[in-house]
Amino acid sequence: MNKRFLLALAGAVFFGLVSIYAAKVYLEKRVDIAKQKEETDVVIAVTDIPLGTKIEPQHIMVVRYPNELVPNQAMVQENEVLGRVTISDVSAKTPVLSRHLAGLGAQPGLSGVTPAGMRAVSVRVDEASSVGGFVAPGTYVDVIAIMQPQLDGAHQVSKVILQKVRVLAGGQQMKNSAEGKPSLVNTVTLEVTPAQAEKLKLAEAEGRLQLSIRNATDLVIETTPGATRRDVLNDASLEQRASIGVRGGGGGFRQPASMPVPPAWNIGAPLPPAAAPPATAQAAGAAPAPAAKRAAPPTPTVELIEGAKRSRVVIVP
């Protein structure tokens, strides 16, 4: 075989392989460039970050996200997140959003998570008034006050005094009991305006507070008239029956309104004397009226009570 032909063939193969490699590198670079244009740096949480935490380098990392998957308000630079305080819980492996962070310079704790113009107010609650302990930070609640109005003789009423209030924190505090011994008291810290704080603390001092959890997406503010004991029963006839101890209908005892009270009867006592005729008729010379027939003495009876059943038994002399 001609040596020149072999050299030409080897050169062609070599330059062909070089061309293929160069084309591969070129295409990969084009794909990387296009991919970089379609992705963005996003700061995500490495671990769960609780509310009120100052973000440190071990809490976050930067990853590439497809542009179509980047959420609104996502933080894209690490230095914009470090040192900031979270105002809500951030779950692990999720992007850190600007709405999760307090303003620059905010301090860790409630002072950093409380928005401008709002106040953090703690109130005492128990397991029942805090919805069985399901009230957690970030929950939205309505506040119901149970207290007595200012009118003299008024009974307790219940009224929704605050609606869609965000819970900032929940915990326990030490307080001396009536015996002077320290005891743990559950508290809930609510985010309210200054005017709402005044109303909330007065209601706590004058009565009792009850929290009701609401849906965070429910923006409707209801207008309620409040409730009294009559509103709870909603039955005037039941109140009348309760005042005299009577139950109508089916089988229960009912004290008849017209039942006479039996007179006291002493079997050994003499009968009462007969009434004398009127003196005016004898003085006028009129014919004496026939003597009135003496009425038979009342028959003695005994009332028997057997549970809800009553009966009378005649005593035969």
Q: What is the pLDDT of residue 3?
A: 75
The distance of Cα 282 from the centroid of its chain, to the nearest Å, equals 88
Q: Which residue has the higher pLDDT, 210 or 184?
A: 210
239 in a structural domain: no
| Residue 157 phi, psi (nearest 5) | -130, 165
Mean pLDDT, rounded, of the chain? 77
pLDDT confidence of residue 197: 94
Q: Count structural domains, the chain.
A: 3
Strands (E), 16-58: 39-45
Torsion of CA 74, 80, 83, 86, to 10 degrees: -20
pLDDT in tens, 48-79: 998 888 899 999 999 988 888 888 889 988 99
- Pair type for strands 140-147 and 208-214: antiparallel
- Residue-range definition of the domain harbouring residue 308: 245-265+298-317
pLDDT digits (tens, 9 = 90+) for 110-166: 777 788 889 999 888 877 766 666 787 788 999 999 998 888 888 889 999 999 999
- Structural domain ending residue among the three candidates 113, 135, 162: 113
Tell me: do 4 and 52 sit in the same domain. yes
CB 12 within 8 A of CB 20: no
pLDDT in the model for residue 159: 92
- Say how many CA atoms lie within 13 Å of 186 toward its Cβ: 14
Q: Does the residue 104 lie in any domain?
A: yes
On whether residue 292 sits in a domain, the answer given is no
Residue with tokens 């307790």: 156
User: What percent of the chain is predicted at pLDDT more than 70?
Assistant: 71
Interior/surface letters 291-306, b for 16+ CB within 10 angstroms, e for the rest:
eeeeeeeeebeeeeee
The answer on 169 and 70 residing in a single domain is no
Compare 26 and 31 and report the one with higher pLDDT: 26
Contact yes or no for 47/92 (Cβ under 8 A): yes
pLDDT 10s digits, 77-93: 899 899 888 888 888 99
Q: Residue 111: what are its φ and ψ, rounded to 5°?
A: -65, -30
Establish if 136 belongs to a structural domain: yes
* Predicted pLDDT at 183: 47
pTM, rounded to two decimals = 0.53
More confident site: 182 or 201: 201
Does some domain include residue 285? no
The better pLDDT of the pair 280, 297 is held by 297
Q: What is the CATH number of the domain that holds 73?
A: 3.90.1210.10
Direct distance between the N- and C-terminal alpha carbons of the chain, in angstroms, rounded to an integer: 158
Residue 44 has pLDDT above 50, yes or no: yes
The Cα–Cα gap between 288 and 269 comes to 31
Q: Is residue 271 part of a domain?
A: no
Asked whether the beta carbons of 90 and 99 are under 8 A apart, the reply is no
Contact 169, 195 (CB under 8 A): no
Q: Which is more confident, 201 or 295?
A: 201
The verdict on 140 and 177 lying in the same domain is yes
